[in-house]
Amino acid sequence: MPDTIKLDASQPADLEHAAAILRAGNLVAMPTETVYGLAADASNIEAVRRVFEAKQRPVGHPLIVHVADPERIALWVEKVPDTARRLIEKYWPGPLTLLLPKKGDVSDFITGSHPGVAVRMPAHPATLKTMGLLGRDLVAPSANPYGRISPTSAEHVLSGLSGKIEAVLDGGDCSVGIESTILDLTGGKHVIARPGQIAGSDIEDFLGFKLSPNLTSQHAVPGSVKRHYQPVTHTVGLAAHRFSELLPRLVPDGERVGVIWWQSPPGDRASESIRLGATVDEYGRMLYTAMHSMDRANVDRIVIELPPQEPRWSAICDRLARACNEQFHGDLEGSSR
């Protein structure tokens, strides 16, 4: 394949170009408000198959169908429950993916043979315009090689997938910075399958009833945390309330350590440091960008100052649990993995 080309989301001709590449069954990484997605025409199974190949993603991992107009989910979803209609009205376009009963003819390639299909309307205007030009829906997993950190800029996409995809549409940095909340509404369920910026408590307040607990969540089953969203560099999480005390004890003399912090300045113990914002939204927006930068900063180890393990931080705690090789909440002996 020739080099991956970079298209400019502010140029109408580049959006036409992106749509033409997709129409031909090829791949374009596109900006969304959450993370960049690796997009292919969802109605072209050969194009969908190429997404798995480019990411080196195991077949059987399902993909989210992205639509530019809520009405288009009727092509994919068997029945849209009232709850889903209300949520779509409230949150779309935006970082909420709904898992709904699929239509019989939706390819197992897209659903991974699950009974549901995941649908979402992303909020980035250039991506919505490109989809409008294409007149079709897109599958779009995060545009990173399998198991690595999701990209929040066009540069991140190129560092992982250059030469493996036709183009990246550069629409700037993602404003949310972590993947969408996934709400499973199949089989009468109301379960958060993946936490995100839109919190379960916000959805409960809006709907006026409680969601069911996620019994299979990684949080509920300590020790089963999957390695995913990982930097290449060994990454350690340290609880904020013990950060300043534990950091010097954790890092051997002479080791180059890259510190990602939000409350506790690491001082001269850090060879490199990046400060995250102190609110949930700011921390989330900056986290992957900081991990990408630190991973390229030639350090021996990355140490991340963890946020409190409270419900409003649950999406971030979820991503950090997967990104870190080990986490310390109490003493250095008590690693959580």
C-alpha 259/C-alpha 238 separation (Å) is: 10
283 assigned binding-site residue:
no
Task: Look up residue 276 and give its DSSP letter.
Answer: P
Does 153 help bind ligand TXA (rule: CB under 6 A)? no
Closest by CA to 252, choosing from 335, 332, 336, 337, is 332
Q: Can you say how many angstroms the Cα of residue 73 is from the centroid of all Cα atoms in its chain?
A: 21
| C-beta of 37 vs 266, nearer to ligand TXA | 37
- Binding segment for ligand TXA (CB under 6 A), chosen from 114-122, 283-291, 300-308, 322-330, is 114-122
Site string for ligand TXA, 261-280 (x = CB under 6 A): --------------------
229 assigned binding-site residue:
yes
Interface residues with Mg ion (CB under 5 A) are 142
Q: Of 21, 26, 54, 62, which lies in the binding site for ligand TXA, with binding defined by CB under 6 A?
A: 62
Q: What is the DSSP string of 127-166?
A: HHHHHHHHTS-EE--BSS-TTBPPPSSHHHHHHHHTTTSS
Does 149 help bind ligand TXA (rule: CB under 6 A)? no
Counting DSSP H helices and E strands in the chain, the numbers are 10, 15
127 assigned binding-site residue:
no
C-alpha 47/C-alpha 112 separation (Å) is: 16
- Binding segment for ligand TXA (CB under 6 A), chosen from 177-185, 214-222, 301-309, 329-337, is 177-185
142 assigned binding-site residue:
yes
Does 168 help bind ligand TXA (rule: CB under 6 A)? no
Residue corresponding to tokens 């999480």: 237
Q: Of 6, 23, 114, 241, which lies in the binding site for ligand TXA, with binding defined by CB under 6 A?
A: 114
Residue 40 pairs in a beta bridge with 139
Residue nearest to Mg ion (CB): 142
Does 116 help bind ligand TXA (rule: CB under 6 A)? yes
Sheet holding 234-239, edge to edge: 272-275, 257-261, 301-306, 234-239, 326-328
72 assigned binding-site residue:
no
Does 34 help bind ligand TXA (rule: CB under 6 A)? yes
Does 64 help bind ligand TXA (rule: CB under 6 A)? yes
Does 260 help bind ligand TXA (rule: CB under 6 A)? no
CA angle 99, 101, 107 (to 5 degrees): 90
| C-beta of 140 vs 251, nearer to ligand TXA | 140
Q: Long-range contacts of range 218-227, CB-CB < 8 Å, 24 or more positions apart? A: 218/318, 218/321, 218/322, 219/314, 219/317, 219/318, 219/321, 222/336, 223/337, 225/321, 225/322, 225/336, 225/337, 226/322, 227/147, 227/322, 227/325
| Cis? peptide before 93, omega within 30° of 0 | yes
Per partner kind, with CB cut-offs from 5 to 8 A, the member of Mg ion, ligand TXA, none near residue 114 is ligand TXA
180 assigned binding-site residue:
yes
Q: What is the dihedral of CA 92, 97, 103, 104, to 10 degrees?
A: 160
| C-beta of 266 vs 284, nearer to ligand TXA | 284
Does 140 help bind ligand TXA (rule: CB under 6 A)? yes
Does 31 help bind ligand TXA (rule: CB under 6 A)? no
Does 314 help bind ligand TXA (rule: CB under 6 A)? no
Query: Which residues contribute to the annotated binding site for ATP?
Result: 57, 150, 194, 229
By the criterion CB under 6 A, which residues form the site for ligand TXA? 32, 34-35, 37, 61-64, 97, 99, 111, 114, 116-118, 120, 122, 140-142, 179-180, 182
Binding site for L-threonine, by residue number, is 34, 66, 120, 140, 142, 180
